[in-house]
Structure 1
Amino acid sequence: MTMLEGNRQLITAWLAGADAQPGAVHAAWAERGVALLPLGRRFDAVRVPAARIHAAVHSSEARTVAAFLGDWLAGPVIRDIRSGLGPYYVLIAPDSAWGGTEERLSTDTFLGVPRLGHPVSMLTRWVVPPTAPGDLCDPAHLSALLMTAETLKAVDP
């Protein structure tokens, strides 16, 4: 097993541990490529409209957005791709502060989380996959990114 494969197994186990029955999560990933994970235990998610992310990045091209978010947020981001307007879900720690206007999803909410590796689901995909167990985005970085989007919108309507 390579170091990357070993790390992927650790990350996968950590993600699956968000659910009280991690075996069911692994089965869902194997069967459908996506599993519904409860929020509020291992991570929360901030739902950001695609238009806000694309305004901040100045692009809607998938590779450009992924590279930018990977550098800026330095943590995992999922995108719902059922439509071109599909939102981005920025994963943050459950105990972290969030004061932005975007909706924070937490306890009593489930998020479709794709399996790591080759995408299978046509509904959701990793834009920025986690690089280690517990790897999450800093909400302050997300807030700064979204302020950039607002500034650009005001300057370039």
Structure 2
Amino acid sequence: MKSAIAVITLLLTITSHSYAKETLPILTGPYVGQTPPGLTPKVFAPRDRTPEQRDHSGFFSPDMTEFYFTRRNNTDGKWTLISYKLENGAWQESVVGARVGRPILSPDGKIMHLGKHYMQRTATGWSEIKSLAAPYDAIRIMRLMSSICSRHILL
């Protein structure tokens, strides 16, 4: 009888253990909770990196209140465009959508270039993805950037 009680107690202890991820700290400050840059290069990561995902192509908005990057789920191979926005002194993570091209913002922050595609900033976030159309639809564009003078650079 004592061994049965011990086994039941052990099972209850094991099954009641929480396997949820730890609560992540609130990110504050001008660099998504990271130490401001110095003269020595360091890895920049808004959250702890895990083997289940790979973060890539990070960049700040011109006003430094948004940080964007692409995230690959190493389990299914799908890429997502992630953003962190500074709201009320804390950085909030959200998913913009599926990654299309290599994202980069225009100097005024109103257009997000996505290779052969783009999105325009709206009052509620970003527009649907639009195509650059001809003649760009026939060109393989890895990254498109624009200058403050409205010149476009294709890579």
Higher helix share: 1
Q: Which has the larger radius of gyration?
A: 2
Whether these two folds match at TM > 0.5 is no
Normalising by the residue count of structure 1, what TM-score does the alignment of the two structures yield?
0.25
